[in-house]
């Protein structure tokens, strides 16, 4: 579907019977409703649904809905995944940092929608490995833990769940006082790692249910919260008890070689610290907002899963092909994902994805929830 041959694929009103796209019975219940002019997109046609009366335009379906300038999403993603800061990307593209952040938000929702589509049709046949990636947001006093669920052979990332933790470990007296002062204003809820891992456990269950491997092994280190989270999920506990899913643990002190079962997450940990500017050790460009940080990570993971070559030089070209070589051919809209917007109303997401898409996470010390443009919920 190009811009010239456009016809609305469905009605824009979520409650209309013509909102669900029906590929065998294309949407015809609309009439042309004039045009409007924009600098960036020229003459934009409008339509009116004859069933519910909703009016909308071609731009309603465009990924650049409400945008005033066109920038290449693939260029921005490539730069973001090459350790460029937002301001450096802005300078290269002659755009403001806000504009780049806005495009990354849009790209993150496209990435999540693709991820949702993929998780329905990947049917993986591999074990999975989970581990926490440690970084921070806003200040070193608010460390966070991003648990990554990675394919043991493919290095495909199945899930990324975020939680802000309380700063622990060795601190000077001054640091302890600073922490107490900050915690008087904002304090993370205890039990974060366990709650976060419950969501990872849920995703593991889904991989088992949709996948081709039985028994399926989940590899982790010896973190006690993981075992508690697994035992806390009734379905998973049952599958573990009957040996359909196995939980195997490796000491985090074991040598970090390619033969270590945790290698896929160790590898990803290293890549993230090398490729994403805000996670480079001792960076001054650290994240200031948790939701923005997770949007950038989602875009990075899209790049990691679907654009970047798999670690091995031979064989499938990227990690998603490594999981299932046929899957990309089956996806209708892969090429148009940087042209047409994914709709929240039409996308089924796991909890960790909803938190990113809808910006539901709370940034330490922030007083109000993050702003989300209305179109992101359409």
- Judged by CB under 5 A, which stretch of 18-26, 127-135, 321-329, 340-348 contacts Zn ion? 18-26
Whole-angstrom distance, CA of residue 194 vs CA of residue 96: 39
Strands 216-220 and 128-137: parallel
Q: Which is nearer to Zn ion, 51 or 336 (CB)?
A: 51
22 in contact with Zn ion (CB under 5 A):
no
Q: How far is the CB of 16 from Zn ion (least distance, A)?
A: 3
Tell which positions 119-138 bind Zn ion, by CB under 5 A: none
Q: Which is nearer to Zn ion, 13 or 46 (CB)?
A: 13
> Contact with Zn ion (CB under 5 A): which of 11, 100, 297, 337?
11
| Interaction residues for Zn ion, span 54-93 (CB under 5 A) | 54
Residue 51 engages Zn ion in binding (rule: CB under 5 A): yes
Q: How far is the CB of 11 from Zn ion (least distance, A)?
A: 3
Total of residues contacting Zn ion (CB under 5 A): 8
CB of 340 to Zn ion, least distance (A): 18
Q: Does 47 bind Zn ion (CB under 5 A)?
A: no
- Tell me which stretch binds Zn ion (CB under 5 A): 48-56, 96-104, 247-255, 351-359: 48-56
Q: Is 378 near Zn ion (CB under 5 A)? A: no
Peptide bond into 367 cis (omega under 30): no
49 forms part of the interface with Zn ion (CB under 5 A):
yes
Select from 47-55, 82-90, 123-131, 178-186 the region that touches Zn ion (CB under 5 A). 47-55
Task: Give dist(CA 120, CA 233) in Å, integer.
Answer: 22
30 or 352: CB nearest Zn ion: 30
Query: Least distance to Zn ion from the beta carbon of 117, Å?
Result: 24
Look up residue 347 and give its two tokens: 């996308």
Interatomic CA distance for residues 225 and 161, integer angstroms? 15
The dihedrals phi and psi of 99, each to the nearest 5 degrees, come to -65, -45
Does residue 52 interact with Zn ion by CB under 5 A? yes
DSSP labels, 202-230 = HHHHHHHHHSS-SSEEEEE-S-HHHHHHH
CB of 345 to Zn ion, least distance (A): 13
Closest distance to Zn ion from the beta carbon of 51 (Å): 5
In the complex, least distance from residue 63 CB atom to Zn ion, rounded to whole angstroms: 22
> Smallest distance from the beta carbon of 31 to Zn ion, in angstroms?
12
Three-class SS state of 35: strand
Q: For residue 314, give every residue at least 6 positions away whose Cβ sits within 8 Å of its Cβ, in sequence order, or none.
A: none
Query: Tokens 């456990």 sit at which residue?
Result: 201
For the bound state, the minimum distance from the C-beta of residue 344 to Zn ion, rounded and expressed in Å, comes to 17
Could you give the CA distance from residue 219 to residue 190 in angstroms, rounded to a whole number? 24
Report the residue number, 11 or 114, with the smaller CB distance to Zn ion.
Answer: 11
Residue 223: closest CA among 129, 132, 127, 128: 132
- CB nearer Zn ion, residue 115 or residue 341: 341
Strands (E), the chain: 30-38, 42-49, 55-57, 128-137, 139-151, 157-164, 216-220, 245-249
* Using rule CB under 5 A, residue 354 touches Zn ion: no
Of the candidates 306, 364, 360, the residue with the CA atom closest to the CA atom of residue 117: 306
Give residues with Cβ within 8 angstroms of 303, minimum separation 6.
Answer: 77, 78, 80, 81
CB closer to Zn ion, 54 vs 279: 54
Beta bridge partners of 164: 144
Check binding of 8 to Zn ion (CB under 5 A): no
Residue 312, burial from CB neighbour count under 10 angstroms (0-12, 13-18, 19+): exposed
When the beta carbons of 54 and 304 are compared against Zn ion, the nearer one is: 54
Residue 9 to residue 333: CA distance in whole angstroms: 13
231 binds Zn ion (CB under 5 A): no
Q: Is 16 in the site for Zn ion (CB under 5 A)?
A: yes
* Closer to Zn ion by Cβ: residue 49 or 276: 49
Residues that bind Zn ion (CB under 5 A): 11, 13, 16, 18, 49, 51-52, 54
């Amino acid at each position: 579907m190009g811009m010239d041959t456009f016809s609305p694929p469905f009605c824009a009103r979520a409650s209309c019977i013509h909102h669900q796209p029906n590929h065998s019975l294309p949407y015809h219940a609309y009439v042309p409703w004039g045009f409007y002019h924009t600098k960036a997109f020229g003459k934009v046609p409008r339509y009116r649904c004859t069933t519910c009366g909703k009016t909308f335009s071609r731009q309603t379906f465009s990924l650049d809905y409400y945008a005033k300038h066109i920038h290449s999403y693939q260029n921005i993603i490539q730069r973001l995944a090459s350790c460029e800061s937002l301001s450096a990307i802005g300078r290269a593209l002659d755009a403001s940092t806000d504009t780049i952040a806005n495009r990354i938000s849009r790209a993150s929702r496209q990435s999540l929608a693709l991820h949702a589509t993929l998780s329905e049709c990947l049917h993986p046949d591999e074990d999975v490995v989970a581990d926490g990636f440690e970084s921070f947001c806003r200040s070193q006093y608010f460390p966070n833990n991003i648990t990554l669920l990675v394919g043991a052979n493919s290095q495909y990332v199945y899930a990324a769940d975020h939680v802000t933790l309380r700063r622990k470990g060795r601190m000077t007296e001054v640091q302890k006082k600073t922490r107490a002062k900050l915690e008087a204003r904002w304090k993370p809820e205890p039990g974060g790692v366990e709650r976060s891992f419950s969501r990872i456990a849920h995703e593991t269950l889904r991989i088992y249910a949709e996948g081709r491997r039985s028994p399926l092994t989940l590899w982790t280190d010896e973190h006690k919260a993981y075992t508690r989270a697994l035992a806390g999920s009734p379905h998973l506990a049952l599958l573990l008890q009957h040996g359909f899913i196995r939980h195997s643990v490796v000491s985090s002190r074991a040598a970090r070689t390619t033969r270590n079962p945790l290698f896929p997450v160790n590898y990803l940990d290293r890549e993230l610290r090398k490729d994403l500017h805000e996670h480079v050790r001792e960076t001054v460009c650290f994240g200031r907002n948790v939701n923005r940080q997770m949007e950038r990570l989602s875009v990075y993971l899209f790049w990691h899963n679907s654009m970047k070559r798999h670690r091995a030089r031979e064989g499938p070209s990227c990690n998603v092909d490594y999981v299932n070589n046929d899957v990309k051919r089956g996806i209708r809209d892969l090429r148009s994902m940087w042209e047409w917007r994914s709709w929240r109303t039409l996308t089924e997401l796991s909890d960790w994805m909803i938190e990113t898409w809808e910006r539901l996470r709370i940034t330490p010390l922030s007083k109000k929830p993050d702003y989300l443009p209305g179109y992101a919920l359409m």
